[in-house]
Structure 1
Amino acid sequence: MESGTTRRDLLRLGISLTAAAPILSACGGLGSDQNTKNTQKSSLKIGFVSPRTGPAAGFGEPDAYVLDLAKKAFQPGLNIGGTQYDVQILDRDSQSNPQRSAQVANDLINGDQVDLMLTTSTPETVNPVSDACEAAGVPCVSTVVPWEAWYFGRGAKETDQNAYKFTYHFCFGVEQFHNMYTHEWPQVPTNKKVGVMWPNDSDGNAIRAALGPLLKQSGYTIVDPGAYTDGTNDFSAQIAKFKAENCEIFNTFPIPPDFATFWRQAAQQGYKPKICQVAKTGLFPSQIEALGPIGIGIAGGAYWAPTYPYKSSFTGVDSKALGDGYQATGKQWNQQLGPSLALFDVAAAALKKTSNPKDKQGVADAIKTLDVETPIGRLQWGKGPNANVVTTPILGGQWIKSTDPKYKVEFVLVENSSDPNVPTAAKLQEYRA
């Protein structure tokens, strides 16, 4: 009897394997391919895009700290529908540039194949990232862009109530600014004439279209020398007009370098309003310190502070601990800490709400009805101005000389009408620098 496997046996085996190949392939192969598929299925990727460098770099100052908190919270993974998922966060610098923002977003979508995108801070970063995700069918959550600049700035119409299928947003808007200004400004007696410097960009155009009429209805006279181009280096004409019109209130929504240029020129040319109200800049200690003495007394908006009585539902960190923890690194608290961490609260809640977090449409649908606690307060989609947006408060504050010898300046809250749960610490004082 012939022992072993004959050539004929091998041929028969080869024929059998060939015939069985389509069946094996359909069933996941002999095992290795199936294992690869299971490995892929148990891994989730979250993209995070923000301005770490460039004109809006102040917003990205606390990114490393927030990302570390999020990564630690995700370290055990997420158990969803009986499957354990490892979670990877891929963070990218937009460089404060719209083209770069679109590029890194598309790289994360097409190259890294992220399951969910998070993005924050100014339309120059957030809008291109949101557009890339909407086009690719990738769920995206964004913040820290006035919602009108995000919603209408991307092409939605006033009549649209559900303009986007994959992109969702939480932030303050024109109504919140109007409410804050009309409660804060009366704390200093003025002639109610407001010199405005609103740029020709998504923020400036949204503010001009909506905030201007609201302020007029509230009895303020708007002196608008017209939209200017980002990057302008000579504001002599605007300053001359504000002086000629005796504008005792000044309001602007510029990129940070533009305000620094304007405010130094205003000081040199003798324009000193009783109230200097800024937005999009003057948010962080580093920006005010860079101005020197003329930074003291500038009023700004606050979308988070360590005194907010709320906490992150995902990490369990409350606002006081968030601020204290960041200051333990040697840096002064930065209000971007709150909304950036809130993005990860939303991400975790949305992923856990789905039966299959790899289903991008399913994740987007989960965000549409999400209700989640964050350091900036409770976010409830479905109760905002449209299906894609949740509005959040913005409170009034003012920069003063720091009472803590470790720091040069500090930001004190002077107005809380949008959220009375947050305590105020002072009244607005006339600008005197």
Structure 2
Amino acid sequence: MNRRTILGTVAALTLATGLAGTALAQDTLKIGAVGPKTGPLAGGAEVSFWPNVQLWAHDVNAAGGIDVGGTKYMVEIIEYDDQTNPGETIKAVQRLATQDKADFVLAPYSTGLNIASAPIFQRYGYPMITHTAISDQIEDLSNKFPNMYFLLGGATGLAGGVVEVLSDMREAGEIGSTVAMVNVADAFGIELAEAARPRMAEAGFEIVYDNSYPLGTQDLSPVIKGAKAAEPDAFVAFSYPPDTFGLTEQAKIAGLAPKAFYTAVATAFPAYAGRFGAAAEGILGAGGIHADGDAFKEYAARHMEVTGQAPDFWASAPTYASFQILQMAIEGAGTTDREKVAEYIAANSFDTIIGPIDWDENNANAKYWTVGQWQGGVFKGVASTGRDGAVAAMPKTGWE
């Protein structure tokens, strides 16, 4: 469990120019950030989570801090690597609460790590605005942990978006009704696959290949060979970043090229298009964004300027939005009292870079992107549960 403390941008600048006394005299809020820097999910966190922690701290401090009842507080980020290990996530949050005395802790990365650490967030009263958790357990989780909020949606919504897109493509005569479906065997993949099976059956799709593989699997060629042998009209993988890349690579090698090819987390990463080039065109994936909207374009430009890398086209913006919500709730409540901040989150809507966020009775955002597609070098949203800016999906035309 490695600890790193990041002083805010303004403090760093004043230190560099010899004006440290002014910055250090300001009040400071300690903000904990826990996520993978090592382990199977490190690659995803290094795209969607950690750069947005850096960007948010920069933006807050460059603007003079968080206004709490008329007093401006700079933010100091205390980072821990949880090694993609739920036990380490729990230990890190507990350490932040008891040793580092963090005022607030940002929700961690991934479905499994959020669910595992929810009890410890609740124990210490930290509002937990999840940005990368997808689950159909939202009602149960919100009842157990009232301080837990959900931005990215549920498994049923994401799976339903996939079925919706496949149905539209079939109606257009672009694909048939057979599907090969695989999933990573962790909370995310298992829930998505379980949600997808009955919805595909209801829509008249036949799953001709259904397989799972352990998180961290290195050799995915047997999975792809099995899928190809089933000769599906569509391939659907509820995958995490390493396997999203691995499955796509193996599909190219094996010549698995249905006109509907879907992989989940990391399909929206700029590195995905960077690796596969023109072959990424037409590939479907989890999430999406209103890529042509001014709000995302402005955010993406600032993300590149501050962090030196582009955001992804799905979870990056909701991650930043979750931090915006925390800041607006602290300022709106006019206090750093965690209970009052949590109450403010539950009772209000928030205008964020992904648009307005309103909670339903289970502390969940009801409008989110479900499916995106690479079109013209940009991963554009093609299906959602109510967001504006969707474009029509198109069939994939091979791996050329």
Band the TM-score falls in, shorter-chain normalisation: 0.7 to 0.9
Structure 2 residue identity aligned to 1:325: R
| CA deviation after TM superposition for structure 1 residue 163, in Å | 2.3
Q: How does 1:149-188 map to 2 (within 5 A)?
A: 151=137, 157=140, 162-185=143-166, 186-187=168-169
| CA deviation after TM superposition for structure 1 residue 237, in Å | 4.7
Contact 2:40 2:216 in 1 (8 A): no
Contact 1:45 1:87 in 2 (8 A): yes
Q: Which residue matches 1:399?
A: 374
- Kindly tell me: are residues 264 and 83 of structure 1, through their superposed partners in 2, closer, same or farther at Cα, counting changes over 3 Å? closer
Q: Which residue matches 1:122?
A: 110
TM-score normalized by the length of structure 1? 0.74
Q: Figure out how many residues of one structure are paired with residues of the other and give that number.
A: 367
Q: Determine which structure has more spread, i.e. the larger CA radius of gyration.
A: 1
Q: How does 1:332-411 map to 2 (within 5 A)?
A: 332-335=310-313, 336-357=315-336, 359-381=337-359, 383=360, 386-399=361-374, 410-411=377-378
Q: For residues 101 and 289 of structure 1, what CA distance do their matches in structure 2 show?
A: 31
| CA deviation after TM superposition for structure 1 residue 91, in Å | 3.5
Q: Percent sequence identity over matched residues?
A: 23
Q: For residues 96 and 217 of structure 2, what CA distance do their matches in structure 1 show?
A: 33
Q: Which residue matches 2:224?
A: 239
Q: Which residue matches 1:212?
A: 197
Q: For residues 122 and 397 of structure 2, what CA distance do their matches in structure 1 show?
A: 44
Q: For residues 45 and 292 of structure 2, what CA distance do their matches in structure 1 show?
A: 19
Q: For residues 134 and 396 of structure 1, what CA distance do their matches in structure 2 show?
A: 32
The one of 21, 24, 29 equivalent to 1:44 is 29
| CA deviation after TM superposition for structure 1 residue 219, in Å | 1.8
Q: Which residue matches 1:12?
A: none
| CA deviation after TM superposition for structure 1 residue 297, in Å | 3.5
Q: For residues 79 and 244 of structure 2, what CA distance do their matches in structure 1 show?
A: 28
Q: For residues 332 and 64 of structure 1, what CA distance do their matches in structure 2 show?
A: 9
Alpha-carbon RMSD: 3.2
Q: How does 1:15-54 map to 2 (within 5 A)?
A: 43-54=28-39
Contact 1:98 1:125 in 2 (8 A): yes
> Per-residue displacement from partner, 1:131-188 (whole Å, max 9, x unpaired)?
321233322221122132xx46xxx74xx76221332221122343244324433336
Structure 1 residue identity aligned to 2:388: N
TM-score normalized by the length of structure 2? 0.79
- Kindly tell me: are residues 304 and 269 of structure 1, through their superposed partners in 2, closer, same or farther at Cα, counting changes over 3 Å? closer
Q: Which residue matches 1:326?
A: 303
Structure 1 residue identity aligned to 2:169: Q
| CA deviation after TM superposition for structure 1 residue 112, in Å | 1.4
Q: Which residue matches 2:54?
A: 67
Q: How does 1:138-157 map to 2 (within 5 A)?
A: 138-148=126-136, 151=137, 157=140
Contact 1:368 1:387 in 2 (8 A): no
Gapped runs of 5+ residues in structure 2? 1-23
SS of 1:117's partner is strand
- Kindly tell me: are residues 355 and 260 of structure 1, through their superposed partners in 2, closer, same or farther at Cα, counting changes over 3 Å? closer
